[in-house]
Chains A and B, each alone.
Chain A
Amino acid sequence: MFKDYAVNGVFDEMFQESGQTRPHYDPVFRQLSNLDQAAFQRRRRMADLAFRNQGITFTVYNDNSGVERIFPFDLVPRIVPAAEWQTIEKGLEQRILALNLFCKDVYHNQHILREKIIPPEMIYSAKMFRREMIHVSVPNDIYIHVCGSDLIRDRDGNYLVLEDNGRTPSGVSYVLENRSVMKRVLPSLFESYSVRAVEDYPFNLLQILKELARHPVDDPNIVVLTPGIYNSAYYEHSFLARQMGVELVEGKDLIVDNNHVYMRTTAGLRRVDVIYRRIDDDFLDPLCFRPDSILGVPGLMNAYRCGNIALANAVGTGVADDKALYPFVPAMIKFYLQQDPILNNVPTYVCADDKERKYVLEHLEELVVKSTNESGGYGMLMGHQSSAAERAEFALKIEKDPRNFIAQPIVELSQHPSLVDDHFEGRRVDLRPYILFGKKVIITPGGLTRVALKEGSLVVNSSQGGGSKDTWVLEEQR
């Protein structure tokens, strides 16, 4: 099934340029080559059925029938050797420390603005900057408790950070479910490896949420707040609540009285101490943010500011993952930690800057233009695949609202063998590790490897026809 496999001149995770397998992929390559096609197809069907019957799905908007879809799962595992992982781990830890200090700084003394490291107008024009959070203290000074940073590899195999998701990153449930399905369907592949377990993520998350409770002596009442079953990540919300053994609530289950938050139970009201919220700031509290939100809890922000309820992540972390502030992250690392960044950024042009905007407008064809306030692969222009008309349209948009756009050179993502019909072909992948930040930083070994299943596509988002892979981080050789 590897017969016509082509490396295509990009970085391939499994093969070196010579066509030789990379040593850590040897056993997988040998076993997969020995498997005949029918056997492999059988396993693929087994995996699909397991996902469907367990209801591991995401919801697609604007689709009348069959709103629940299975997130396509590719059976070839992605393997990260121990040494590589160590670098990633250190780099991500450094990054989250800096981002968190940045959040605290921006909402308190604003040293970074006074020192002119970041222009103030970049902060105040950020849509996710929350004035309401100025001088509000959060438990243990932690803002970003859960972060998912997207990593990609360039042509030489260097890991780069593409973006940080410091609001409500999703996908971690697939990391755990992919592993469990993989163990069920292809157990023999695990034999030649010692793969680090990912199962303790919910446990670690629960510990971090517990730390947030104001009265740690008592058994705190922790809940997961979801927008409801029609949200695209609903499966994950319910999965995490189930794995942590806590209540999954919707906005209408909660009520604020005298600046305390309660949930409505069969026996009346019960106090809530910590909310792991999977609702965006905008919808959290209609009295404070969008008044038309019916997903939120009226009065929640007041209770939060009184310190009677803890939220994870904190309100206002969106300022740290604003795409226009992303180019400043290396500077943040230097400013707050006096260190050089371990993981590099993708070079980025900020359209708000006159010189850079000029460059972007002249080189649209070679760049990817992204809107700073959208995610999920929406609002993007892929320069080399666009028509002249599309480019003209984007140029107009950029000139009209430069703050809203950034541009990056097209990075050739690394590719990984994936099943296409009856054989393997190289498809582009990224990696989203999940970082938990409490008393210490815990990074789940692995993460979600997303794969662009369309040939030649560089967009891995599930809403754009992406799939996922199990990701193995190997135990250090002793």
Chain B
Amino acid sequence: MSQKQEKIVKNQAMNQSTRAEIPIFLSARVPRSPTSKPMLARVAESMYWMSRYMERAEHVARITQVNFNMLMDLGEIAHSMQEKQWQAVLHILRLDQSPEAQALFASPDRNLGQHLTEFKTLNLLNKNSLLNCLTKARENARSIRESISAEMWETLNTLYWSLLSDDAKQRLEESPQQIFQSVIMGSMLFQGVSDQTLPHGQGWQFIQLAKYLERVDMTCRVIDTLFDVLRSNEATMEGPLKNIQWMAVLRCCSSIEAFRRRHVGDLDPQRLAAFLILDKESPRSIRYCIRAAQKAVAGIATAVHPQEIDPAERILGRLNSQLEYAETREFTGVGLKYVLKQILDNTAESASAIQRSYFLH
């Protein structure tokens, strides 16, 4: 074969191969879109749970810390209230049915507070203990390390190891406050680091969504449970004691300073509930969180299917409108309970809608 002939044959071969490959290349079933890079469903799910568990850990730490402090303030009288108060805390954290927790109540030990603190912090039997929440947050983070920033991982991992260190148990006995505080600050640091190091794309939106849904859930349960306890104590309690307890409710939601500035020195329960549920500006209020969660879902949905309204977005949007037009007069007694139940049901529903739309492909 001459050189020229050879060249022609080669060219033909090349043409053929490109022609044959084009249809595969432009696979009709899955178009490529260079603008938005979809993420793995598994990664999205892990982002979501990492953030939820981190937020949960923060609430567990704060609620336990506040309660611990309040019982110290109440002094003598506290003795009679101790059990009731800790039962309430367990109820908020969905632990009241746990056999291990009930065993602690049954024991005649006077140091109930301390045992429960340990139970809530380091006990691995307890599914919502700080250590368990952080372990789960970290496990999720570990499986998506390539998708989160190195700083986020290091923040979370450092916090995790600080609770696992050899002296953690001793530190918990000496100064439980410090451990709780380190978890609260660690969670906030983690969210701050996420905001500043992770691109605000889909992954970040899932983190936001999870954080706010978890916060709504916890806040609802705090209000619901503690209002019940306080109402049952009403007859027996005097003014200052009552105030201490109402303040504790605000502290559990990390809203005391914001509330004081809004309603100077007035601890009226109805106002308190209205603030925690409806305040437009406080990032700890339920309505703020619902709006933020809605925005996050909308952000995720536009990248995935811009034409449709996402089912979760619809649920959260409706809930948001409902809260926008709510009357504070409803926020007493049965009315309050009803509102809270509605919020809880709706957020749970939106969470499962997200699961269906994004995690189960």
Contact present for A247 and B154 (CB under 8 Å): no
Contact present for A270 and B30 (CB under 8 Å): yes
Whether A242 sits at the interface, judged by CB under 8 Å, is yes
Interface residues of A in 249-281 (CB under 8 A from B): 249-250, 252-253, 257, 260, 262-271
A238-B145, A266-B304 known; A260-B32 Cβ under 8 A: no
Stretch from A157-165, A213-221, A452-460 forming part of the interface with B: A213-221
Contacts of B300 in A (CB 8 A): 266
Contacts of B153 in A (CB 8 A): 54-55
A54-B157, A55-B157, A219-B34 known; A252-B42 Cβ under 8 A: yes
Contacts of B40 in A (CB 8 A): 247, 249, 253, 263-266
Q: Could you tell me the distance between the alpha carbons of A52 and B30 in the complex, rounded to whole angstroms?
A: 41
A218-B25, A266-B358, A268-B30 known; A253-B145 Cβ under 8 A: no
Whether B78 sits at the interface, judged by CB under 8 Å, is no
Contact present for B361 and A268 (CB under 8 Å): yes
Whether B102 sits at the interface, judged by CB under 8 Å, is no
Q: Mark B39-60, 1 if CB is under 8 A from A, else 0.
A: 1111110000000000000000
Contact present for B24 and A238 (CB under 8 Å): no
Contact present for A264 and B154 (CB under 8 Å): no
Q: Could you tell me the distance between the alpha carbons of A238 and B148 in the complex, rounded to whole angstroms?
A: 11
Across the interface, name the chain B residue whose C-beta is closest to A214. Answer: B21
Q: Could you tell me the distance between the alpha carbons of A240 and B248 in the complex, rounded to whole angstroms?
A: 48
**Whole-angstrom distance from the CB of A17 to the nearest CB of chain B?**
45
Whether A53 sits at the interface, judged by CB under 8 Å, is yes
Contact present for A53 and B157 (CB under 8 Å): yes
Whether B143 sits at the interface, judged by CB under 8 Å, is yes
Residue in A53, A218, A238 whose CB lies within 8 Å of B154? A53
Chain A contact residues: over half helix, strand or loop, or mixed?
Answer: mixed
Whether B338 sits at the interface, judged by CB under 8 Å, is no
Contact present for B21 and A265 (CB under 8 Å): no
Whether A419 sits at the interface, judged by CB under 8 Å, is no
Contacts of B139 in A (CB 8 A): 229
Contact present for A266 and B21 (CB under 8 Å): no
**Whole-angstrom distance from the CB of B352 to the nearest CB of chain A?**
16
Q: Mark B144-188, 1 if CB is under 8 A from A, else 0.
A: 111100100110011001000000000000000000000000000
A53-B158, A238-B145, A253-B41 known; A264-B361 Cβ under 8 A: yes
**Whole-angstrom distance from the CB of B201 to the nearest CB of chain A?**
11
Q: Mark A219-247, 1 if CB is under 8 A from B, else 0.
A: 10000100011000010001101100011
Total A residues in contact with B, Cβ cutoff 8 Å:
36
Residue in B21, B30, B36, B43 whose CB lies within 8 Å of A271? B30
Contacts of A270 in B (CB 8 A): 30, 32, 38
Q: Could you tell me the distance between the alpha carbons of A242 and B202 in the complex, rounded to whole angstroms?
A: 17
Q: Could you tell me the distance between the alpha carbons of A154 and B144 in the complex, rounded to whole angstroms?
A: 43
Q: Could you tell me the distance between the alpha carbons of A219 and B37 in the complex, rounded to whole angstroms?
A: 12
Interface residues of B in 10-38 (CB under 8 A from A): 21, 24-25, 27, 29-30, 32, 34, 36, 38
Whether B142 sits at the interface, judged by CB under 8 Å, is yes
Across the interface, name the chain B residue whose C-beta is closest to A267. Answer: B38
Contacts of B309 in A (CB 8 A): none
Whether A248 sits at the interface, judged by CB under 8 Å, is yes
Across the interface, name the chain A residue whose C-beta is closest to B155. Answer: A53
Residue in A53, A238, A262, A267 whose CB lies within 8 Å of B304? A267
**Whole-angstrom distance from the CB of B270 to the nearest CB of chain A?**
42
Q: Could you tell me the distance between the alpha carbons of A265 and B41 in the complex, rounded to whole angstroms?
A: 5
Whether A308 sits at the interface, judged by CB under 8 Å, is yes
Contacts of A228 in B (CB 8 A): 143
Contacts of B142 in A (CB 8 A): 55, 229, 234, 238
Contact present for B358 and A218 (CB under 8 Å): no
Contact present for B143 and A229 (CB under 8 Å): yes
Residue in A52, A53, A219, A271 whose CB lies within 8 Å of B27? A271
Residue in A229, A238, A263, A266 whose CB lies within 8 Å of B202? A266
Contact present for A241 and B146 (CB under 8 Å): yes
Whether B303 sits at the interface, judged by CB under 8 Å, is yes
Interface-central residue, B25, B145, B146, by most chain A CB under 10 Å: B146
Across the interface, name the chain B residue whose C-beta is closest to A50. Answer: B154
Closest 10 CB pairs of A and B: A265-B38, A267-B38, A241-B146, A242-B146, A264-B361, A238-B145, A267-B304, A266-B358, A248-B146, A264-B41
Q: Can you list 22 A-B contacts with CB-CB less than 8 angstroms, sorted by A residue number?
A: A52-B157, A53-B161, A215-B21, A229-B143, A238-B142, A238-B146, A239-B145, A242-B145, A242-B146, A248-B144, A248-B147, A250-B42, A252-B42, A253-B41, A253-B42, A263-B40, A264-B42, A266-B44, A266-B304, A266-B361, A269-B361, A270-B32
- With A257-B29, A266-B39 given, can you name 8 additional A-B contacts, CB distance below 8 Å? A55-B154, A214-B21, A218-B32, A229-B139, A253-B42, A267-B305, A268-B30, A308-B24
By a beta-carbon cutoff of 8 Å, the part of chain B in contact with chain A is 21, 24-25, 27, 29-30, 32, 34, 36, 38-44, 139, 142-147, 150, 153-154, 157-158, 161, 202, 300, 303-305, 358, 361
